[in-house]
Amino acid sequence: MHPTKTAYLTVITWPTGFDEPKRIKALVECAAMDPYQAKLACRRNLPGVMATIDADVRPHILNAMHARGILCIVPSHEEIMAYPQAEIAVGIDQFPDANPARFVVESSLGAHWTFTAEQVKLVVSGWIKFTTSTVQTDHSASMSMIAPVESAMIKAISTDQYHVNRHTKVTDLLDLHIRVDGQLKLVRLIGPRTRIGIVGDNARPSLLDDTKPVELAELLMPDAQIDTEFHDFDPPGNIRRQAVKNGNRSGSLTMESWAFYSPWVGMIEQAMYGW
């Protein structure tokens, strides 16, 4: 299925008393899913992507699902990709004594702009993994590579000449979905790359130095919806394949999954709360 024709059947909640057999039946009858795949899909954490479908048929599937009382949306791949592009922040500072709280963003492109706590609609918190391998030969020469290249390199070296060291890096991420002057913006804080502090304070810690950055967001942005479920997200197959193609073998906790998940959650929250 071509990406421009792809849509994602997303169940937000099942109706009260809707047991597993009813869920399976709904997915089979409404979305023409294979019964076994429907059984696996209906057990996913919610909200969750139940199936990847042809975008042309989503009105029919939505009508059928809604007729059964199932709260769901079917965003297309194009719609998710059209969500505001993430703006990487190298710094976010809070103005002291501002009420309500006000912040200034310093983007990686050098731009600066401000927002208030009330303008933050959604905070998405999580982490990604990236695994690298180092092959050490008996000549003390080492080669670093991303995991998918590893097997090919190993085959080129006899078994008595090398050993493999694997290293997994975990990076914290925090996405702020902000509506400023009617315009939706997505600001991404990335581990040690983003500094957080007070305006005028140069001794700012990195996001990585704060063991629970989402707690700081909850404190400073109390009106925002908070999502911390990325670690339980089961990404669609095309997103997993893209991650593997890009050299990432860290399962679902990849940047490709995050780049899909955050806008996807944003679209769900907008459908639910109308911001």
Asked if pLDDT for residue 260 goes beyond 90, the answer is yes
**One-letter identity of residue 155:** K
Is the pLDDT confidence value at 3 over 90?
Answer: no
- Boundaries of every domain in the chain: 3-80, 84-130+168-273, 131-165
Tens of pLDDT, residue by residue over 16-36, are 999 999 999 999 999 999 999
pLDDT tens digits for range 58-91: 999 999 999 999 999 999 999 999 999 999 998 8
The answer regarding whether domain 3-80 maps to CATH 3.30.1390.10 reads yes
Distances 97 to 79, 103, 199, 220 between C-alpha atoms, Å: 39, 11, 11, 12
| Closest listed residue to residue 213, CA positions, set 116, 78, 89 | 89
36-50 residue pLDDT tens: 999 999 999 999 999
Over residues 9-18, mean pLDDT: 97
pTM of this structure: 0.83
pLDDT value at position 156?
A: 47
Quickly count helices (H) and strands (E) in the chain.
8, 12
- Interatomic CA distance for residues 110 and 212, integer angstroms: 27
